[in-house]
Structure 1
């Protein structure tokens, strides 16, 4: 009979450190009688942000409860309906003007995970509050190699005027370690891959990447002997999980390498600065990042993650779906039917990308369920209607079952004005943080 395996076990070889997925053999109780309960897999939290609001007519369901019908936009998640809840009525008061005039886009990002009203400035005197992901990581983040990961598809900026007198630090960072400490997101899939699977030293990471490129070896090749040794010790079900995991890493590594070769400077796309080393197509870039997120959760490299599709007020176009106008420009639709149609198309494009992640997480067995079952992932925006710039009745989804704590598959309508931070307070409690409040919460949400 196989011995119990530590959750922190990694496969090593020449500068490579491969964390392992959750295996049944990692349960400290698996060696007890068959009737004993396996140790619960870890719980993960995540936050996904889309800019410029949503075409709400195609988003909000009419009915409540589990019998609600999917709207035109939510229809894109049809195969996952039983795996998420639609939450209506939640409000982000910190994103409102409160006498500061314009700047709703930057305020929305800055407030989305903090619940705070950021100081209006485009100088160095930025001031916000700690975000829910960082507050949680400060309490429980030491259980994993990375307390949290901050990812996205557009690079962060830390200075300059990005929105009506609001610093770019507000517009491009939703994770904040403290009032003056925005956490920049990583947008290069290759860099994320190296962080997850190369050795801890950044110098060693660069050196081993050079070695791999020279000898055309995969990270898995360097850790192969360790993997073979472990494979012999595992029961059949865990051997299959390990094989599937190693295959997925090799596949992702190949696609990341291909993305490096595809890197070009794209012209004619409004207000979209492209870092070097990312795929040309947004869908491909997103697909790789969803792979990184899946691997990060699967290997328990982190349990806390934030992701921004684009920065606040992003005016990039979407040629992949035949949208040539800039997103921000379209969001000020003035009730134009054609512009609203384009906005809804962009909304569905973003939701398709999120659906790809849900499919990946749902396809990985973990404990008595799936990896998605052990997640609670918020998807939404700090703006409801992009034309009105309103911050009430926000478009919010909560995906996953939080390890059985959530009854999913419902549309839950809260009293309009309910702070979004009421949800975050509940999520922090599920992660093991002892708190009765967060941000501007006035209670704890009921799910």
Structure 2
């Protein structure tokens, strides 16, 4: 018997002018007759930490009493609440952790009373009580996402991404003698180093897929309304010749999802540039 299956590295990327696109997991990335977990192609575990600022539905006493979030019972057979109901198909992969608290977000002195909102973001993933200061000598703790990134994120081009939806001043004081930086980033690479947030969707997209080329070349591509995928079409054609039917379909679906995100960003940019009112 002859094994002719072509093997691709899990690190395979498609490169073009100003673009680098990583590949989804493909069958071709598993060497023939090799158990997946014994190869470098073993899927990586991802960690996502999301903060909903100023609380959310269910964080009030009414929400607690009516179990908006927290199941009424523990164990594997818990009942899904109104808010958790969409996750029910993933029961076997889901763990709901309840009765947690972060005392470091509370005031530890009379001078800190009333400043919970100015501390909470810095406490969320660090579990550290922020130093009350308006200057640059901020002090909190290393956040759990960055500890994870240091241990598990070294095999990816970007160990971590910090994304936000609103701009928060990173300098100066925001209230109660706390620096504004405490109110923005939730990721801290060290007790004294908050990680800046990426707010602009275009910048986030370019961080993920843009590579090489000058700022002028990238601007020209955007002005011409060209896709970042246009630059990899030649390499894509060569690669697809060596893939099986299932891998080709999987790759096409993945690249279309990348293109769809790009289209959405382009539409937002075009609308913002038009000056027209946008309904939310």
Task: Report the TM-score range of the alignment, normalised by the length of the smaller protein.
Answer: 0.7 to 0.9
5+ long unaligned stretches in structure 1: 267-278, 282-319, 321-447
Query: What SS does structure 2 have at the residue aligned with 1:90?
Result: coil
Greater C-alpha Rg: 2
Out of 23, 47, 50, the position equivalent to 2:49 is 47
TM superposition outliers: structure 1 runs of 4+ over 6 Å:
none
1:249 maps to which of 258, 268, 278? 258
Q: Is the CA contact 2:18–2:228 (under 8 Å) kept in the aligned structure 1?
A: no
Offset at 1:206? 2.5
After superposition, the Cα gap between the structure-2 partners of 1:215 and 1:132, relative to the gap in structure 1 and judged at 3 Å, is: same
Distance in 2 between residues matched to 1:251 and 1:206, nearest whole Å: 23
CA contact (8 A) 1:92 1:112 kept: yes
Q: Find the aligned partners of 2:223 and 2:113 in 1 and give their Cα distance.
A: 55
Mapping for residues 142-291 of structure 1, pairs under 5 Å: 142-199=154-211, 201=212, 204=213, 206-263=215-272
- Asked whether the equivalents of residues 95 and 111 of structure 1 are also in contact (C-alpha less than 8 Å), the reply is yes
Superposed counterparts of 1:67-86, under 5 Å: 67-86=77-96
Alpha carbons of structure 1 residues 44 and 280: separation in structure 2 relative to 1, 3 Å: farther
1:91 and 2:91 correspond: no
Residues 182 and 221 of structure 1, relative CA distance in 2, 3 Å threshold? same
SS in 1 for 2:5: coil
Instruction: Quickly say closer, same or farther: Cα 1:245–1:166, change in 2 above 3 A.
Output: same
**Could you say if the C-alpha distance between residues 211 and 159 of structure 1 is closer, same or farther in structure 2, counting changes exceeding 3 Å?**
closer
Query: C-alpha displacement at 1:207, in angstroms?
Result: 2.7
| Equivalences for residues 109-124 of structure 1 within 5 A | 109-124=121-136
Alpha-carbon separation, structure 2, partners of 1:89 and 1:73:
17
The structure where strand makes up a greater share of residues is 1
CA distance in 2: counterparts of 1:233 and 1:265, whole angstroms: 45
Tell me the CA shift for residue 264 of structure 1: 7.1
1:123, 1:91 → 2: CA distance? 28
Alpha-carbon distance, 1:252 to partner? 1.4
Question: Which digits, 9 at most, give the CA deviation of each residue in 1:13-50, with x for residues without a partner?
Answer: 212111111112222xx3126xx445421111110111
The question of 1:3 aligning with 2:12 is answered no
Deviation (angstroms), 1:211: 2.8
Kept in 2: contact 1:127–1:179 (CA 8 A): yes
Structure-2 change in CA distance of 1:159 and 1:215 (3 Å) = closer
Confirm whether residue 17 of structure 1 aligns to residue 26 of structure 2: no
In the alignment, the residues of structure 2 paired with residue 172 and residue 280 of structure 1 have an alpha-carbon distance, to the nearest angstrom, of: 26
Match in the other structure for 1:65: 75
SS of residue matched to 1:177:
strand
Q: How many angstroms does 1:78 deviate by?
A: 4.6
- Cα distance in 2 between the residues matched to 1:190 and 1:92: 34
Contact 1:59–1:71, Cα closer than 8 Å, also in 2? yes
- Alpha-carbon distance in structure 2 between the residues aligned to 1:265 and 1:258: 11
Aligned equivalents of 1:48, 1:10: Cα separation in 2: 28
Looking at structure 1, the residues matched to 273 and 122 of structure 2 have their Cα atoms a distance apart, in angstroms, of: 31
Q: Kindly indicate whether the alpha-carbon contact (under 8 Å) linking 1:2 and 1:234 is maintained by their aligned counterparts in 2.
A: no
Could you list the per-position Cα deviations for residues 217-262 of structure 1 after superposition, in whole angstroms to 9, with x for gaps in the alignment?
A: 2111111010010011112221111110111111111111001012
Q: Give how far 1:90 is off.
A: 1.6
How far apart are 1:214 and its partner, in Å?
A: 4.4
Q: Give 1:169 shift.
A: 0.5
Greater alpha carbon shift after TM alignment, 61-70 vs 142-151: 61-70
CA deviation after TM superposition for structure 1 residue 59, in Å: 2.1
Task: Write the deviation string for residues 37-69 of structure 1: whole angstroms up to 9, x where unpaired.
Answer: 454211111101112222332222211123322
Using structure 1 for the length normalisation, give the TM-score.
0.55
Q: Which residue of 2 aligns with 1:31?
A: 32
Give 1:216 shift.
3.4
